Amino acid sequence: MHITTISTENAPAAIGPYSQAVSANNLLFISGQLPIDPTSGLMVEGAIGMKTEQILKNAAAIAKVAGTSLTNVVKTTIFLTDLGDFTEMNTAYAKHFTESPPARSTVQVAALPLDSNIEIEFILAI
C-alpha cells in the first residue's frame, strides 16, 4: 500500500502531530477541519453556517492538492458541541452536496480543539 501525506497552505496547518490529509488506496482521508481562515490563522466568527462554509472551503483546498474535489466525498463525520446548531449547519452543508450526498454521521461532543463548536472530517475517492 502506498501512503502519501497531503498538505497545502490554502487550508489551516495541523495544530498537532497529524497530517492535514493522507491518501491511501485511492482514498483521501482529511483530518478534522475547524473553521479556521488559513490566511489569518484565526477561527471564523459568526453563525454555525459561516463556520461550516469555511470548513468546506478548507476541505476543498486540501482535496484539490490531492487531485480530487468535494464531489468525490464518500463519507463525512460532523462533530457539534450543540445539536441545536444542526439545522443551520445542515443548510450550509447541503449547498455543497446537492447530488448524491455522501454518507454522514453527526454527533454531539463535549468539547472540540480551540473551543470550536464544529469540526468535520472527510473521506474522498481519488
In this structure, is the dihedral angle defined by the CA atoms of residues 106, 108, 112 and 116, taken in order, positive or negative?
positive
Q: How far apart are CA 57 and CA 96, in angstroms?
A: 10
The confidence score (pLDDT) of residue 47 equals 98
DSSP β-ladder status, 21-24 and 3-6:
antiparallel
Give the ranges where the chain is alpha helix by DSSP (H).
Answer: 48-65, 86-94
The confidence score (pLDDT) of residue 36 equals 98
Mean pLDDT for all residues in the chain: 97
Q: Domains in the chain, start-ordered, CATH in brackets?
A: 3-125 (3.30.1330.40)
Q: How far apart are CA 63 and CA 57, in angstroms?
A: 10
The confidence score (pLDDT) of residue 44 equals 97
Q: Name the band, by pLDDT with cuts 50, 70 and 90, for residue 15.
A: confident
Question: 118 has which bridge partners?
Answer: 80
Q: Name the band, by pLDDT with cuts 50, 70 and 90, for residue 1.
A: confident
Residues 6+ apart with CB under 8 A from 97: 70, 73
pLDDT per residue as tens digits for the range 66-112? 999 999 999 999 999 999 999 999 999 999 999 999 999 999 999 99
Examine the pLDDT at 119 and tell me if it is beyond 90: yes
The confidence score (pLDDT) of residue 85 equals 98
What is the percentage of the chain residues whose pLDDT exceeds 90?
96
Written as nine digits, the cell of 50 is: 459561516
The confidence score (pLDDT) of residue 39 equals 95
Q: How far apart are CA 49 and CA 88, in angstroms?
A: 6
Q: How far apart are CA 12 and CA 44, in angstroms?
A: 12
